[in-house]
Chain A
Amino acid sequence: MQAQSIDHLALLPLYLAAASAAVALFAGRFAGAFAMVGLAASAVAAVWVAAGPSRATFAVGEWFSYAADDAAMGASALFAGLTVLVLAVSGRRTPEYCFLLAVSAAGGIALAGSRDLITLIVALETLTVPLYVLVAKPGRDGAEAGATFLIASVTSSATALMGAALLYAAAGSVHFEGLAGGLDGAHAGLVAAGVALTLGGLGFKLAAVPLHAWAPLVLERAPLPIAAYLASASKLGGALAVIWLVHFGLAESSAASSAGIVLAVLAVGSIVVGNVAALVQRRTVALLAWSGIAHAGYVLAPLAALTTAAGRGDARAAAAAAFAYAVFFVLLEAGAFASLTAVRGEDEDGGRVAELTGLWRSAPAQAGVLLVAVVGLAGLPPALAGTFAKVAVLEWLAGSAVWLAVVVAAGAVVGLGYYLPLARTILLGRGETAAKGRFGWAVALIGVVLVAVGLAPQLVLEFTALSQ
């Protein structure tokens, strides 16, 4: 029996992330620094690999389980970068904390490269399991958050796994490319059930309706840096899992129509529930969490229009639009949560919206980034990152499913109903207490990134194009 040859270069970002996790565990008080340097190196490696020719490894015949193309490497760099940001706003932490975050990042990087159902679900679990520990602060609230997250996560993983098993039973393959061909002659009911269970389960990570209710509760009670991670890197993981499965596996098969229907239900449900619930929130993190559910709907909406799309080129455009929106969205969420952590303190909760009054005067840099993020989430210029995200989604939907474009537009209008008051609160008035305004460099970094992708959206749109 011949051993399988492995392209270690394709796995370099993953190796670096895993190594930084291992080093951090034993680095004592320098754990945070080592983890950050290691993950930054992983991000650089991802960019370097992407610059070279497209790589793939772990092949069974023509099908690869792990790919290192532009999309995967772009997402890997993003996972590593977001984790560095979270570590930077975490303050002084135990080595275990840094280890767990780095492991989660390694899971994200593996997820970005995964091209079969097993790798995808294992990577997603690697991304999630460390968070069971991290979300639980000492005390009753923390225990509640941890237990909720654990139960919701295990349930959804089981759901996704059941769906994956059904898909395997129907197609006879776990490779995405195998699914594409294998599902064609399969039992329709089996395929529909498999698709619905898998997508519904994966939607949990993205906090899409109906598995959304954990998000506001957990984000509100988790430490703020972990909430930042859950809202950015973890959500990117959920989005990638759904996009990869749909784009590489289901789009070309006979399951495309049932996937489209499931995703349409998830998308419209998320947009409606998220926006309406966000309108009545008085606490900052809860508002961002509920509105994040609405944004999950916007991510899924382009994929939902797949049923009306015809041909390979259109399916690619749908996945590219969803991917682009997801990337812009998690960057904006990272900006919002990082600056919120900086003004509230890494061990505090998000507090009420009213407590941000006059932030512009007390901590201008942090308030500026928070403002850019909030305005971007609302999709308005001058925070162009959010505008381009909306353009990417609307442009695709207008050409394929106008009714969904109208739903997205209506959601964005409602969104203005809570984003504008939030922006106004930050900008106007005088705060009662001086905000802390810490982590200046970390916040400035994500601020620069947000401005850069706003001015040069091609930076993001290039690797989200899924052109290979």
Chain B
Amino acid sequence: MGVILAACVALPLLGAALTWWLRRGDVGVAAAALALLAAAVLPAGRGDGWWHELDLAWAPAIRLDFSLSVDGVSWPLVVLTALLGLLCCVHNTRAGGPPTLTALLLAVQGASTAVFLADNAVLFFVAFEAVLLPMWAVIHRYGIDETRRAAAVKFALFTVAGSLLMATGLFVAVADAGTADLGAIIAGGGVGEGVSLLVFVLLALGFAVKAPLWPLHSWLPAAHTAAPTVGSVLLAGVLLKLGTYGLIRVAGGLAPDGAREAAPVLAVLAATGIVVASLVCLAQAELKRLIAYSSVGHMGFVVLAFAAGGEAGIKAALFANLAHGLITPLLFFLAGAVKDRTHTGLLSELGGLRMAAPALAGLLGFASLASLGLPGLAGFWGEAFTVYAAAERGGAWFALAVVAAFGAFLTAAYLLRMLKHVSHGPPSTAVAGIGGVSAGEAAVWSPLVAATLALGLAPGPLLDLFATGVL
């Protein structure tokens, strides 16, 4: 199975090179499909703890090994990455987008998969850095907005600052533990107590930029607004997950003592982020920017759940993380479709989508309801458990739970406000005569809709899967 682990990383990267070389988008689609297949067969023959491991020496002098492993925590994210990568490639190729964009998307996908699978601290850092350049190019070169250059630079600088602080934290941990094997350090109970807080703060700073955690989020709305639809989808569905996955698995795993000490600070920042993002969204006039800011709020829930800790907290964090990775990409796909058709994202210029394109409006309503946490859809469980996990700890945490619940209420308010503007009312000139949902679009969106429904109706299997993970 080691070969398949390597294939999950290598196929997208190979596909990226071939797509760029042959200038054919369909090659990229094929590579992404094979990568999804490889990710899908990973559970075969799994045991407890780590399912499969692959370990090849690369550069022992800097403690770099090409070691990959997968477990119940990383596998869902690998599948999510492969799925979103495939959908983005299909979307881009179907829309006649440039093959280079497909190649860049595949490069992001391959590097992100390597981050989720990496079992070596140095490899983790290298993969984390490898995501940066292709994503920068996606925003910079294929952005749809006149702000794309500034947004791309902001994204790059924030990300590199974060990832280098993270690297410092990782190497402090490696020096303390004497090994770069992440699994071994986690299994050994993390780093020594003396450096635990330092390691956690450095790692958390790095991951908080990526997640993003308020107040380090300011690169996100700019990047999302400027990025093309597929770029936004990958940003929301995959790149933000690198931050939260790193926080839960790496920062929490390497420095559990530090995590416990820093939890109150993290929780207060997360709760503040939820409320601030919701308030910003309430006043937001642009569709993509609104969805981007809503990500800050949703990621706030993930961080709050992680800070609350305990089994319920960690499970809530992982679940909310995955649910956001399904719902927000769907919202970005839909927002992209609306913007493509109407050439505007301003809420004041939209309206009456329900009459002009009922299927599109219906899907937008579905995704919004899922995002605001309607019971029965994927968004509900993560956020409900988050509030529960925080409230359960009592004391000041109860206040944070109340703040988060209030944030969830505000989330409902701004998403319904958005729906009111876009779907309802008399049809505006912008939406008049736009086309409905095409079969191709429906094919791209349907896996996300189906997964949102499935996770909402039956969260049990995924929660059980998380319970088998190595944390």
Contacts and interface: CB of A to CB of B under 8 A. Distances in A.
Contact of A402 (B58, B136, B198): B198
B141 A392 contact: no
Interface in A367-423: 375, 379-382, 384, 387-388, 390-392, 394-395, 397-400, 402, 405-406, 408-410, 412-413, 416-417, 420
Label chain B's interface by main secondary structure: helix
Contacts of B3: none
Contacts of A462: 61
A457 interface: yes
B129 A387 contact: yes
B344 interface: no
B136 A465 contact: no
Contacts of A456: 59
Given A394-B171, A402-B172, A461-B61, A409 B161 contact: yes
B321 to A, nearest CB: 25
Interface in B125-182: 125-127, 129-130, 132-133, 136, 140-141, 153, 156-157, 160-161, 164-165, 167-172, 174-176
Label chain A's interface by main secondary structure: helix
Contacts of A380: 129-130, 132-133, 160
A399 B172 contact: yes
A428 interface: yes
Nearest to A421: B153
| Chain B interface extent, by class | 35 or more
B122 A412 contact: no
B126 A413 contact: no
B13 to A, nearest CB: 9
A399 B126 contact: no
Contacts of A381: 111, 126-127, 129-130, 133
A106 to B, nearest CB: 29
B122 A391 contact: yes
Contacts of B167: 390-391, 394, 398, 409
B429 to A, nearest CB: 36
B192 to A, nearest CB: 13
B60 interface: yes
Interface in B31-65: 58-64
Given A381-B133, A409-B164, A409-B165, A395 B175 contact: yes
Given A395-B174, A420-B156, A458-B60, A409 B133 contact: no
Interface in B95-142: 111, 122, 125-127, 129-130, 132-133, 136, 140-141
Contacts of B165: 406, 409
Contacts of B157: 413, 416-417
A436 interface: no
| Chain A interface extent, by class | 35 or more
A394 B164 contact: yes
Contacts of B198: 402
B139 to A, nearest CB: 12
A93 interface: no
27 contacts: A380-B129, A380-B132, A380-B133, A388-B64, A391-B62, A391-B125, A391-B167, A395-B62, A395-B63, A395-B171, A398-B168, A398-B172, A398-B175, A399-B171, A399-B172, A402-B198, A402-B202, A405-B171, A406-B165, A406-B168, A409-B167, A416-B156, A417-B157, A420-B136, A458-B58, A461-B61, A465-B61
Interface of A: 320, 324, 375, 379-382, 384, 387-388, 390-392, 394-395, 397-400, 402, 405-406, 408-410, 412-413, 416-417, 420, 424, 428, 456-458, 461-462, 464-465
Interface of B: 58-64, 111, 122, 125-127, 129-130, 132-133, 136, 140-141, 153, 156-157, 160-161, 164-165, 167-172, 174-176, 198, 202
